[in-house]
Structure 1
Amino acid sequence: MAQSLIVLFLAISIGFFAGRLKIGKVSLGVSAVMFVGLFLGHLGYSMQADLIQFVREFGLILFVYGIGIQVGPTFFSSFKKEGLVFNALGVGTVFLGGIIAYLIHILANVKVENAVGLMSGSVTNTPGLGAAKSTLIEIQKQLNLPADHFSDPAIAYAITYPIGVFGIIFLIIVAKNALKIDLEKEVILLKKKNKDHENAIVRQKCRVTKSEVIGKTFKQVFKEFHIDNVIISRQKQSGTKVVYSPSLDSIIKAKDVLMVVAKQKDINHFIDIVGKISTDLFIESEEDVTTKILSVTHKTAIHKTLAELDLYNQYDVKVTRVIRSGLEILAQPSLELFYGDTLMVVGNKEAIQEAEKIIGNSKKILLEPDFLSLFGGLIFGLIIGSIPIVIPSLPVPLKLGLAAGPLLAALFISRYGGVGVIHSYINNGAIHFMKDLGICMFFAAVGIKAGHGFYDNFISNNGWMWIYYGCFITFIPLTLLVLISRFVFKLNFYQMVGIMSGSYTDPAALAFSTKYLDSDIPNQSYATVYPLVTISRILVAQLLILLFAS
């Protein structure tokens, strides 16, 4: 056991260091752990069979669960915008890659488990490999086959993995030059298209000058002029320095100064109705009314709407914004609060202290790991992944498995803020640690196991031909994705690069593209397609094994 753990830790530590080394702007990142594991396995270092299987599966579970928790809040909302097109393009590349892998199996007489390994490596998809290996083990158990009946798809995966990493980077560079992309123009077009500056929640001061609203309450003005999605956080009357947080029944007087919180387009609409932009500085004073950030940690506030909490009527405290997973949301009365949400509140200090007792605002609790939620969510995911889907003529039922099950559970939990006592909040540092630890454990276990006899397998299976076959899976779907994205759907180049990286679930390519393009825009489309693409790759890998493994 000690020797096994030393080999595991060696692979992870040396691999993590090697992954930071750069060739130009390209580095292998955590995928270098797999290559170090291959080298150690080739030299004869080994791990106990049961331990290596546990490390591989547990690492994969941690990785996909962390991904699901991280992208869950934006995943579902993205379908309201361009997410449907993005995911259709991503899933299209998955099925085309599956078709090419099947043709390689038939035409080149490559075992289907090796073809699936080629497919997973050529698109750098780790969960697909994990699902394929789990399905092969399940078939062996159900049909009582010997352990060496099937080839190890990790060999083909390891051989073609570099093609996947460097192939997509190569295509990003080629696409930029071939399409003659002007990056500055692309940024301008994207801002114009998405109006990002109008989607952010901002605040602005205005002075009341229009006679149409003077003497009316905010409720009357909002109803009469059809004003929605606007919050008035502060009000100051002309000639005074007293600032207070108004209610909907507060009366608007001439020359009042108001602090408006909303999207920019809604603020512009409101100011057009009530008056003009103000430069008054007294309304920002913290003497009478102060602004504070509170975190939702108390059970009395979790899964309650802002209307149910009624902080304004109870404590004279107004919530203007809610920050969830890095996203700013306007504090509408119907908004349900989740554990870990951050509220931006306005009110006097004494009132905020009273409201704080209801909200919780315990920074210490947020920093402490909640293992009940983490492992409860993992149990939920394993149950989902273990549900058998019986399909006639298949040797064993289809299952989402240890990858897709936890991923779906994480997406569901993060979307609804939790299930019962299981909540979705995990601080960013813990999420990154969980993802990196999980993927390092998986890569190390896969590399060490595949490293035994890797050279012999490379020679006996004509590894150069496998690399050649892998190029078809890497380049054909991705080239079609570029052409269709650009010429059919007219997608922005930054978005297209994110879809390319997300379709191949390739964090190394994403890291390269953000540095190469000097922009974080690709991260958004990457996160949009990653979950559905991952689930699709898992299902395609399983179906190929179940349908054609002999």
Structure 2
Amino acid sequence: METFADLLRSHPELALFLSVIFGHLIGRFHFKGVGFGNVVGTLLAGIIIGIFAKPLVPDLLRWSFFYLFLFAIGYSVGPQFFGSLKRNSLPQVALAVVVAATGLATTIAMSVLFDFDEGTTLGLLTGGLTTSAALGTGISAINSLPIPADLKATLAANAPLADAITYGFGDVGVILFLTVVGPRLMRIDLKSEAEALEAKLAAFGRDDQVLSGRFFGVRAYRVVKPGDAVLTVRTLEDRFSSGRLAVQRVKREDKLLQVQSQLALHPGDAIVIAARIGVFSDIVDHIGPEITDDPELLSVPQTSASIVVTRRAGHGKSLADLGAATFARGIYLESLRRGHELLPREAWTVIERGDVLRIVGTPEDVERAAAHIGFMERDLDKTDLAFIAGGISLGILMGLPKLVLYGVPVGLGLAGAILLVGLVAGWARGRYPVFGAIPQPAQRLLADLGLIVFIAGIGLTSGPHAMEALHRHGVGHFASIFLAGMVVTLVPPLVGLAFARLVKMNPIMILGGIAGAQTCPPALTALREVSGSNVAALAYTVPYALGYIIITMWGAVVVAIMHAIRA
């Protein structure tokens, strides 16, 4: 074993990647849908390996990856962050602010009560509110404090330890509150309330025009009984508008005709139509028999594309409104994503700027729709690395200036400035999609890899200090951290629930908003399962974007406040 420890000490990169591997194995373990997840799993694995091997991970490596994470996460939520600052989103914005502010205040109160140091307070915040990303901003603030280097190292090591102790209940507590405690306090049944909200929203949408592409297909038919004196492409499409029928090809004898709305269909014509599968059973009775032996006729090119919503034709419109638009003819929706969350593909779902629609149709139809809705991510293999490097460099320069108040450095800091630049960069890309391309898969990779490597490095560095803390403080100290974490987890949603009821928010939207404000994706999953509906996701995304940014910034704020209190 000692030989293996020596190997890890001489090759810290091996220890780093082993932390990621074992961290993902820990993160995969779930009990009834609840687990640590990859980030905290990697932190735990790093701490264990750090205790065993004591490898030295260069600070430059850790912080470089953390800066990549900050820029990527800011870029990805930028459109939602600035798009949420509008009148109809104000209740959700206010809920996110109330929950985040209550979380900060509760953390400080519990830390003063238990006499926790700055590092333990930081971990209490990040674990109790399930936002481990705030470890980076907080540790960066600790490194800027005017204290000896050995004390900085101790405080920086206490933070991830407290995070690991409190994070587990951070998820469990929010899930229990949103699925059991919250509904009982509001005296509601989640399934009945979700069904009522869906019915209310459905009253504002036309199900016959919804863009959804579920059960979509392409088939060919021979026109033998048009029925009308003159059957045109438009009249046929209008007749089956409930199935979003679109004529793709018209072949007369051996010639393909240009498909236009006024084109008359004659007996003997072969037509290719795209529609929902449920419509096809009625087509035969209205037009004629299906053609199954002409593969060349059926070889209509189909393509799928991701469209980022930036234009007014898409922003603020429901899927029903979008489906009824002339430019949406012949396209079908595969998925609708806001941030990392999939939204319901229902008539009443309202599209916001920055949403990503995955649509399918002919290349011409997809191009036409993209031109009206926003911009198409054309090259998913190309990432503007110079744009990323430039954004991070600008953030570093902006974060250098500091003002010292009462002995505490005050300023954006490197982490805060890079996050801010990322937010503006993501918003600008949505508005002016001619520069700074970072496709969604690349955004996700940068964010995940950046945070995981940083957290692995933090765990490896803090591992030896974890044993020292156990010997110095004993198990009772860890128990007090866990108890304080329970309070930090439960008080913010309780206050948020009271506030949301005061402003008369819908109960399901309240619960979805609290799940987002506490940055707890497992809680949203639990809400889906218990309510039997995904409608709560509509209230999740705005508070999540705001909550994630605010709580990440709280990392530096809570360190500054606690240092001032303890000074």
> What is the TM-score when the length of structure 2 is the normalising length?
0.67
Among 205, 209, 213, the alignment partner of 1:198 is: 205
Match runs of 1:312-391 below 5 Å: 319-320=327-328, 326=337, 366-372=379-385, 375-376=388-389, 378-379=391-392, 382-383=395-396, 386=399, 388=401, 390=403
- Number of aligned residues: 461
Corresponding residue for residue 455 of structure 1 = 467
Amino acid in structure 2 at the alignment position of 1:488? L
Equivalent residues of 1:73, 1:325 under 8 A apart: no
Q: Structure 1, residues 15-50: CA drift from partner, whole Å, max 9, x if none? A: 112211221222222121211222212223423233
Cα distance in 1 for residues equivalent to 2:127 and 2:429: 34
Q: Does 1:440 align with 2:455?
A: no
Cα distance in 1 for residues equivalent to 2:418 and 2:79: 18
Deviation of 1:454 after TM superposition, in Å, equals: 1.0
The alpha-carbon distance between structure 1 residues 193 and 386, as it changes in their structure 2 partners (threshold 3 A), is farther
SS at match of 2:205: helix
Corresponding residue for residue 123 of structure 1 = 129
Q: Does 1:473 align with 2:488?
A: yes
Cα distance in 2 for residues equivalent to 1:283 and 1:240: 18
Among 34, 55, 61, the alignment partner of 1:54 is: 61
Unaligned runs of 5+ in 1: 205-235, 245-255, 260-276, 307-317, 330-336
Corresponding residue for residue 151 of structure 1 = 155
Deviation of 1:241 after TM superposition, in Å, equals: 4.0
Corresponding residue for residue 188 of structure 2 = 181
Among 496, 500, 506, the alignment partner of 2:510 is: 496
Equivalent residues of 2:91, 2:505 under 8 A apart: no
Deviation of 1:131 after TM superposition, in Å, equals: 0.8
Cα distance in 2 for residues equivalent to 1:16 and 1:527: 25
Corresponding residue for residue 399 of structure 1 = 412
SS at match of 1:423: coil
The alpha-carbon distance between structure 1 residues 280 and 5, as it changes in their structure 2 partners (threshold 3 A), is closer
Amino acid in structure 2 at the alignment position of 1:132? G
Deviation of 1:281 after TM superposition, in Å, equals: 9.8
The alpha-carbon distance between structure 1 residues 201 and 258, as it changes in their structure 2 partners (threshold 3 A), is closer
Cα distance in 2 for residues equivalent to 1:377 and 1:422: 12
Cα distance in 2 for residues equivalent to 1:474 and 1:339: 30
The alpha-carbon distance between structure 1 residues 484 and 342, as it changes in their structure 2 partners (threshold 3 A), is closer
Equivalent residues of 1:293, 1:345 under 8 A apart: yes
Match runs of 1:68-467 below 5 Å: 68-80=74-86, 82-139=88-145, 143=146, 145-149=148-152, 151-152=155-156, 153-175=159-181, 178-179=184-185, 180-195=187-202, 198=205, 202=209, 239-243=229-233, 259=238, 284-286=246-248, 287=250, 288-289=259-260, 319-320=327-328, 326=337, 366-372=379-385, 375-376=388-389, 378-379=391-392, 382-383=395-396, 386=399, 388=401, 390=403, 392-393=405-406, 395-399=408-412, 401-402=414-415, 405-406=418-419, 409-410=422-423, 412-414=425-427, 416-417=429-430, 422-424=435-437, 426-427=439-440, 429-461=441-473, 462-467=477-482
The alpha-carbon distance between structure 1 residues 420 and 480, as it changes in their structure 2 partners (threshold 3 A), is closer
The alpha-carbon distance between structure 1 residues 381 and 481, as it changes in their structure 2 partners (threshold 3 A), is farther
Q: Does 1:37 align with 2:49?
A: no
Q: Does 1:4 align with 2:8?
A: no
The alpha-carbon distance between structure 1 residues 296 and 325, as it changes in their structure 2 partners (threshold 3 A), is closer
Equivalent residues of 2:65, 2:451 under 8 A apart: yes
Cα distance in 2 for residues equivalent to 1:138 and 1:420: 37
Deviation of 1:399 after TM superposition, in Å, equals: 0.9
Cα distance in 2 for residues equivalent to 1:178 and 1:280: 40
Deviation of 1:257 after TM superposition, in Å, equals: 6.6
The alpha-carbon distance between structure 1 residues 379 and 187, as it changes in their structure 2 partners (threshold 3 A), is same
The alpha-carbon distance between structure 1 residues 185 and 537, as it changes in their structure 2 partners (threshold 3 A), is same
The alpha-carbon distance between structure 1 residues 192 and 491, as it changes in their structure 2 partners (threshold 3 A), is farther
Cα distance in 2 for residues equivalent to 1:501 and 1:187: 16
Cα distance in 2 for residues equivalent to 1:199 and 1:410: 35
Deviation of 1:406 after TM superposition, in Å, equals: 3.0
Cα distance in 1 for residues equivalent to 2:356 and 2:89: 26
The alpha-carbon distance between structure 1 residues 404 and 519, as it changes in their structure 2 partners (threshold 3 A), is farther
Equivalent residues of 2:513, 2:539 under 8 A apart: yes
SS at match of 1:285: strand
Q: Identity of paired residues, percent?
A: 19
Corresponding residue for residue 297 of structure 2 = none
Deviation of 1:242 after TM superposition, in Å, equals: 4.1
Equivalent residues of 2:337, 2:356 under 8 A apart: no
Unaligned runs of 5+ in 2: 1-8, 212-225, 251-258, 261-272, 275-301, 314-325, 346-352
Q: Structure 1, residues 372-405: CA drift from partner, whole Å, max 9, x if none? A: 3762574377358626464754632311542563
The alpha-carbon distance between structure 1 residues 355 and 76, as it changes in their structure 2 partners (threshold 3 A), is closer
The alpha-carbon distance between structure 1 residues 101 and 201, as it changes in their structure 2 partners (threshold 3 A), is farther
Amino acid in structure 2 at the alignment position of 1:116? L
Cα distance in 2 for residues equivalent to 1:382 and 1:397: 16
Deviation of 1:463 after TM superposition, in Å, equals: 1.5
Amino acid in structure 1 at the alignment position of 2:489? T
